[in-house]
Structures are given as C-alpha cells and as structure tokens.
Amino acid sequence: MSFSLIIYSSTDGHTKTICERIIDSSNDKDKVKILPLREATKTDLSVFNKIIIGASIRYGRHSNELYKFIKLNKSTLDQKKSVFFSVNVVARKPEKNNPDTNPYIKKFLKISKWTPKKIGVFAGKVDYPKYGFFDKYIIKLIMFITKGPTDTSQSFEFTDWAKVDDFARELWLNS
C-alpha cells in the first residue's frame, strides 16, 4: 500500500489551504497524512512512499526550520517520490510563476542542495486585515513598488486554483 505525507510550512495558513486542496484531488484521501512542519520533525518518514512539502515565503525566504528539516532528512527525501512547492506573491506575475523563473525556487534549490522529483510554485494571498501594523505597511509598500493592490482593508488571493489542481492530478497520477 502506498502512503503519502504532506508537510506544510505556513505562517498565515494559505499554504495549508493549498495542501488541503491537493489532498482533495486524491482518490485515496485516507492514505494521505497532513502535518505542520514542526510535527513532521517528530515523525518517522520512512513509512511514506511520497513526501510533499509546501512552504511559504516571508521577507524573501523560506523558514530556517524548513532548511533544517531538509538537511536532516535529505537522504530519506532522496529515496522517496519527493515533491516541493513554494507559495509567494511574486508568483502572481506571469514571468515569475514557474519553477524555472521564480526567484525563491532558484534560491531554495541552491541553498537546500535538494533536488525534489517534482517542483511547483503558486501565487499566495495578501491578507492585509490579518497582519499586524509593521507587516501590513511593509507589504503595502512592496505591493506599491510591484504594482500590486494596496487597499489594506481587503484580502487579495492570487492563487490559480486550476494550476493547483493540475499539479495535484499529475502528482497523484504518478503514485
């Protein structure tokens, strides 16, 4: 029997929502386990055939915990059908929305020295009402500079759900 593990590294929950959408596409949902990264560090990975890691970007980088986890488990990940995807708002730009063109994917592969069997990148969400004062105004400034939305009373979801579904279908097809 084939079991899969989906691990999410998320601050505001959007990456987890994308992971749940990926699970929704599976015909064997009961054979897919989902865990936050901090729980995955305490889990025996050897029992899973496929390991999918989704991680969001904050201030230009994936979390240190993610890099630590990959360093610790790299040999296990290399033996599995391992998949990685990143969630960031730079990916809302068509010229930065695939693994070859997204700067955070390039940086991640270089630093982690891990080569996942499949890689994805999805545009995330800007959820101004949820942010504290500092984050809200920094993100507003970044959005202003990059010609994104700046109305801090609103949430803006850039995720292309059809793209997530295509990614998921392909991922489960190759079980």
Position of minimal CB gap to ligand FMN = 124
The span of 19-27, 30-38, 87-95, 108-116 binding ligand FMN (CB under 6 A) equals 87-95
The span of 42-50, 63-71, 118-126, 160-168 binding ligand FMN (CB under 6 A) equals 118-126
Tokens of 172: 């489960």
Q: Check if the beta carbon of residue 84 is closer than 8 Å to that of residue 38.
A: no
Between CA 164 and CA 139 the distance in angstroms is 24
Q: Is 131 in the site for ligand FMN (CB under 6 A)?
A: yes
Q: Which of 6, 19, 89, 119 binds ligand FMN (CB under 6 A)?
A: 89
Least distance CB 162 / ligand FMN (angstroms): 17
Q: Is 57 in the site for ligand FMN (CB under 6 A)?
A: yes
Q: Is 66 in the site for ligand FMN (CB under 6 A)?
A: no
What is the pairing mode between strands 50-56 and 32-36? unpaired
Determine how many CB atoms are found less than 10 A away from the CB of residue 66: 21
Helix, strand, or coil (residue 22): helix
Nearest to 56 by CA among 17, 4, 3, 114: 17
Q: Which of 1, 59, 129, 147 binds ligand FMN (CB under 6 A)?
A: 59
